[in-house]
Amino acid sequence: MVRNNIELDVKVKCVEQGITQLAVAEKVGTTGQYVNRIVKKKDGIMNKTFVEIMEALGYDIELTYIPREK
């Protein structure tokens, strides 16, 4: 399975748009430190702020539930 590197994706998108992670944080109403903490998590965190961050960077987010096999 190939996983996206969210941290790298966010940094590249910020560079492409000429904005900082702090500017993205302000856009979604949080702090730069919180954005940094969210994008660095390796355990697949997904919350409302994460979705808002990705949408603010121009990503279209579609959440799909796939149950784990036991």
Query: Mind listing the pLDDT tens digit for each residue in 12-55?
Result: 888 888 988 889 888 888 888 888 887 777 666 667 788 888 88
Q: What is the pTM of this model?
A: 0.61
In a domain, 25, yes or no: yes
Q: Give the count of domains, the chain.
A: 1
| Torsion angles phi and psi, residue 57, rounded to 5 | -90, 5
In a domain, 31, yes or no: yes
Q: By the 8 A CB rule, do 21 and 36 touch?
A: yes
Domain span at residue 32? 6-56
Q: pLDDT category, 2, cuts 50, 70, 90?
A: very low
In a domain, 24, yes or no: yes
In a domain, 42, yes or no: yes
In a domain, 63, yes or no: no
How many whole angstroms separate alpha carbon 54 and alpha carbon 66?
Answer: 21
In a domain, 41, yes or no: yes
- Given the structure tokens 């399975």, which residue do they identify? 1
- Residue 1: pLDDT above 50? no
In a domain, 1, yes or no: no
Q: By the 8 A CB rule, do 50 and 57 touch?
A: no
